[in-house]
């Protein structure tokens, strides 16, 4: 296992992480058996790729912000904060993933904890997260961060609310 010299933290997307980002995402997509073709365009013009992901942007019809979880030169995963819920509340306020090589090392728990602090700073008092029922690892992450199960959404995902003040 690679020993990180400093704990990863949420950062804005950066061109400095090009190689680590592309390798991490490719490994993750291949591990899941997903299409990696989008990485070709990203690798050809990484500066533009990063620029499209930086700052508050409208995604899913609401203002949102993308962060990368990184330690030095190492990209560990991505996280998005929706500043408000979509009409159908699909996806909730926070979505995250840790790329395959870094999974099962506690990164998602720390990433979500940092996101909850950012949500509190955006005056989001209770953050909604949705998780596929078969995703036991993510359910555990949400519960470790104070998630309280509510119901299933229209897509059959579990809904969890987290009080951001406790973050």
pLDDT digits (tens, 9 = 90+) for 112-138: 999 999 999 999 999 999 999 999 999
Instruction: Please state the pTM of the whole predicted model.
Output: 0.92
- For residues 150 and 90, the model is more confident at 150
DSSP 17: G
CB atoms inside a 10 Å sphere around CB 118? 18
Supply the pLDDT for residue 39.
95
pLDDT tens, position by position, 12-45: 999 999 999 999 999 999 999 999 999 999 999 9
Give the right CATH number for 9-166 from 3.30.450.40, 3.40.630.30, 3.30.450.270, 3.40.50.300: 3.40.630.30
CA distance 52 to 123: 25
User: Where are any strands of DSSP class E within the chain?
Assistant: 9-11, 56-59, 62-71, 74-82, 94-98, 126-131, 148-152, 158-163
**What SS3 state is found at 33?**
coil
116 token code pair: 């909850």
The domain locations on the chain are 9-166
């Amino acid at each position: 296992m690679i020993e990180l010299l400093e704990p990863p933290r949420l950062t804005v997307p950066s061109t400095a992480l090009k190689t680590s980002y592309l390798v991490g995402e490719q490994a993750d997509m291949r591990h899941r058996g997903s299409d990696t073709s989008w990485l070709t365009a990203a690798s050809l013009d990484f500066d533009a790729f990063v620029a499209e992901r930086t700052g508050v942007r409208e995604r899913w019809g609401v203002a949102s912000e993308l962060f990368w979880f990184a330690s030095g030169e190492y990209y560990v995963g991505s996280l998005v904060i929706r500043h408000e819920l979509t009409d159908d509340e699909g996806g909730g306020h926070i979505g995250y993933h840790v790329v395959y090589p870094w999974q099962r090392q506690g990164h998602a728990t720390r990433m979500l904890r940092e996101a909850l602090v950012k949500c509190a700073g955006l005056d989001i008092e209770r953050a909604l997260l949705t998780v596929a029922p078969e995703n036991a690892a993510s359910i555990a992450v949400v519960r470790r961060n104070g998630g309280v199960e509510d119901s299933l959404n229209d897509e059959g995902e579990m809904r969890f609310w987290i009080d951001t003040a406790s973050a």
